[in-house]
Structure 1
Amino acid sequence: MASTCRGRTLRRSRFGCRNCKLRKLKCDQGKPQCKRCSSFGVLCNFMPNIPDLQPVATDTGRPLVVARGKAELQPPLMNAVWTSDASTTYQLNAKYDFNMIQVNRKLLELAFAYPFLMHASLAVALTYDRHLNGSLDCRRTLEECYHWSQSTVLLNKRLREPIEAKDKDPIWGTAAALAILTFSSPDACTPEQAWPLKPSSDSSSDLDWLRMSNGKMSLWHTVNPLRPDSLFRVMAATYAHMNSPLPEGGIDGIPSALADLCNLNESSTPGNNPYFHAAHTLSQTLELPDSEVTTGQTQLFIRSIRGPFKDLLRERDPTALLLLYLWYRKTSRSIWWIELRARAECPSICLYLRRYHKENAAVQAFLPGGDLADKWN
């Protein structure tokens, strides 16, 4: 079959692989791997028994998974990239968001032309699958790590080159996916292994997921997700919420029990109380039904983890830890990628506070079994 493009007649290869046909590229028909599939990191599927766009692991030509500490061959992952077509898979919140679904579908189309976005999409799909399994064994599979690593390497390489307009949406989508992967993948499976119970010789490594979130936002002015031709422009309201002004004084909207815990009153400001912004942003989320909690609200609290409050968290200050604990408890019921980290860190915070601050009655009242537990958990 021939098609015309700008005065030239292009002939599609009759015996090329399906991957190249899906990506609308001319296949060189190389066997057993064509050059385009090799460079894209997928198994060439000129044979009918090989799935479309099946990722390969280094040096094997077949997917791998870690089981009982050993790398074992795994059956092909069937169309993992397409799992994001389901409304629940790449929904970042519990609330149905039509705009977000449309963005995800367009990103999937772009993934065929941008390997770093394809690898990021596969890694997030595999991470979401880990969330759905709900297993106590929360370790990342080798396949998940492979796609995460490949996406990071390829994106860093791409950022060292001039960025054209057509590259901006794939770059921003990949950066957002990497931020989710970093947050949802703590290096712990049990509370004892997790921060803050885990001994740490270097406090700068605590809350390391914040660096990835800040790194993503450093690309904002480069890619400008709200530019007129951006597919992310439909999310303008979400971005506006994420960056809405924070209160500058007083305790309006903060429950009295939380205000007392943080020593907040009408004269409190961000300058004289390190808990000020964290307490305000947490209160905005706590008053919502679980089904109404969105990524926009969660980002407000994450924004508050800076300066003196961030230092208090690293020092394992009991009040700062409790604010983070309450945020985990609320948001993890609605947002899957927060739930994956909260599985280990939320009970770790609770155990830490009970073990090392059991004399602090104000803090203990908010924990399970405390006087305020029914209202706050």
Structure 2
Amino acid sequence: MANVLPSFPNAAPTARILHFHDSIEYESRIMYSRPVAKALAHPGHTENLGLGVATARFAESKAPDLHLSPHRDNGDPCVRVSMLSAVLTNKALLNTANSSLKEHYPENFKTRNACPLDMGDLDRLGRWHTRTVFTLGTPDTASIYQREISRLVSLHPYLMHAVLAMTAMHDRFLQSSDLPNFAQSTAIECYHHGCAAALFNAKLSSQIDPLDRNALWATAVLLSSMALFFVESSDPEELWPLAPPSPSHLEWLNMNQGLRVIWDIAEPISPGGLFHDLAQNPQYSYFQSKMTSEPQPGIDGIPYYFTTLYDLTPLSNARNNPYHAAVRTLASLLDVECTPFTMVKFLSFPSLMRPQFKALLKGKDARAMLLLAYWYAKVCESQWWIKTRAILECTAICMYLERYHSGDLRLMQMLEFPKARCRLLRSGTSRA
């Protein structure tokens, strides 16, 4: 597939886009590896789960309960007429929306994979608009996502599939009695996520119109959030770093760091961008430096127990110490509670992670893993799409470090904080 750079002045280097391609493609293969998902990939699938397509009208009208039994109308003809009218209205919406979005599928996708939206998808769109969207960022950013995504989904199939996939995952999280894992993924999740990833990759590999940029950013946010939600097991022994090596380990980091690539392409805070107006608000001034990273050198503001364990001195910086940037970012978050208002600051830890530190994580360096455990411990009571991974992988890291590095007394002492947080949360998980 040819890769054409987008026509933006700040377009990301080809290598960075291709790296993000690989991450999305891998996530897509993981989802489609499930047998039920493979069955869904065939146009003749009897459940007709559909490609997901909608207009802003979906968001403006509350979908009625289409699953009411016909015997519940108690013979009242007015109720029957109302229910029939609701069904006909929604069918008309589906027909109109399916026709509209079909025009925006790539030609090779239309012939092989295109299926119409169904009533279940319409219900999911309603839940997205009234529930799931409000788990993304602050109330202000969520409101922007709610308004703009409702306007954009009928024009951008990759965004529509991402919305439907994430809503289906949220449904499963809320219905689960324990921390959900990938093995419990539904066919609908697999189908829509796979389509979103494939279509998004296709868009990144083609000429990008400036009108695409808000849909690109919104889709990238959803895909990176879903990557965090994908956890292969509920047993820490089967997760990184305890599990045998797997290409899926830390793949969520690639997806999260890929947001920097899309940020450069989409320019969300420039005129016409999703957050341009919001970025003028002093409360959101951090948007101006959201995807840039040049940490302050030295050790001012870094707790003593971090400076000693990580060999930091007043002369340390991100170039001469591979831990410095990560420690600096984490130190700024230690006294901050992770809330919808501060979540974007916490996400800077993985988004701005430097290659040297990431290599240490992949090599299971004990001190690097401790920093990741601290970050997990700080975010593990936040949004549903990060909660499961944070609790389970934090637990796995703590178990690994106790098992293989128990002789490092300073490390063991600092491990107490994330270990206590994980133990507390695993003993009584709650839905959010």
TM-score bracket, shorter-length normalisation = 0.7 to 0.9
CA distance in 2 between partners of 1:155 and 1:312 (Å):
30
Q: Which has the higher contact order (CA 8 A, sep 6+)?
A: 2
Alignment pair present for 1:186 and 2:261 = no
Alignment pair present for 1:255 and 2:303 = yes
1:98 is matched by which residue type in structure 2? D
CA distance in 2 between partners of 1:15 and 1:245 (Å):
48
Deviations, residues 16-60 of structure 1 (Å, cap 9, x unaligned): 733134679599xxxxxxx9xx946312xxxxxxx3xx34xxxxx
Structure 2 partner of 1:284: 332
Tell me the C-alpha RMSD between the 2 structures. Answer: 3.2
Distance change in 2, residues 1:292/1:84 (3 Å): closer
Deviation at 1:316, TM superposition (A): 1.0
1:86 is matched by which residue type in structure 2? T
CA distance in 1 between partners of 2:167 and 2:195 (Å):
15
Structure 1 partner of 2:127: 83
2:95 is matched by which residue type in structure 1? C
Deviations, residues 124-158 of structure 1 (Å, cap 9, x unaligned): 11222333335234232221111100111122233
1:136 is matched by which residue type in structure 2? L
CA distance in 1 between partners of 2:272 and 2:377 (Å):
38
Contact 1:239 1:296 in 2 (8 A): no
Alignment pair present for 1:19 and 2:94 = yes
Structure 2 partner of 1:315: 363
Gapped regions of structure 1 (runs ≥ 5): 1-12, 28-34, 44-50, 56-77
Contact 1:100 1:235 in 2 (8 A): no
Structure 1 partner of 2:393: 345
Alignment pair present for 1:208 and 2:264 = no
Structure 2 partner of 1:120: 162
Gapped regions of structure 2 (runs ≥ 5): 1-87, 103-109, 425-432
Deviations, residues 200-250 of structure 1 (Å, cap 9, x unaligned): 1x6x65321222233343233433222312233245335324235433421
Q: 1:361 aligns with which of 389, 404, 409?
A: 409
The structure with the largest helix share of the pair is 2
Deviation at 1:354, TM superposition (A): 0.8
Contact 1:40 1:115 in 2 (8 A): no
Aligned length: 318
Contact 1:116 1:174 in 2 (8 A): yes
Contact 2:125 2:163 in 1 (8 A): yes
1:164 is matched by which residue type in structure 2? D
CA distance in 2 between partners of 1:313 and 1:167 (Å):
35
Contact 1:269 1:276 in 2 (8 A): yes
Contact 1:169 1:230 in 2 (8 A): yes
Q: Which runs of 4+ in 1 moved over 4 A?
A: 13-16, 21-27
Structure 2 partner of 1:196: 241
Deviations, residues 75-130 of structure 1 (Å, cap 9, x unaligned): xxx7112223336643234xx42233222232023113322111100111122233
Structure 2 partner of 1:332: 380
Structure 2 partner of 1:176: 221
CA distance in 2 between partners of 1:309 and 1:161 (Å):
32
Contact 1:196 1:352 in 2 (8 A): yes
CA distance in 2 between partners of 1:113 and 1:233 (Å):
21
Distance change in 2, residues 1:189/1:346 (3 Å): same
CA distance in 1 between partners of 2:180 and 2:384 (Å):
16
Contact 2:257 2:351 in 1 (8 A): no
Distance change in 2, residues 1:170/1:369 (3 Å): closer
CA distance in 2 between partners of 1:144 and 1:87 (Å):
17
Using the size of structure 2 for normalisation, the TM-score is 0.65
Note the 1:128-277 alignment, pairs <5 A.
Answer: 128-132=170-174, 133=176, 135-139=178-182, 140-200=185-245, 206-236=249-279, 237=284, 238-277=286-325
Contact 2:229 2:386 in 1 (8 A): yes
CA distance in 1 between partners of 2:90 and 2:378 (Å):
54
Using the size of structure 1 for normalisation, the TM-score is 0.74
Deviation at 1:328, TM superposition (A): 0.3
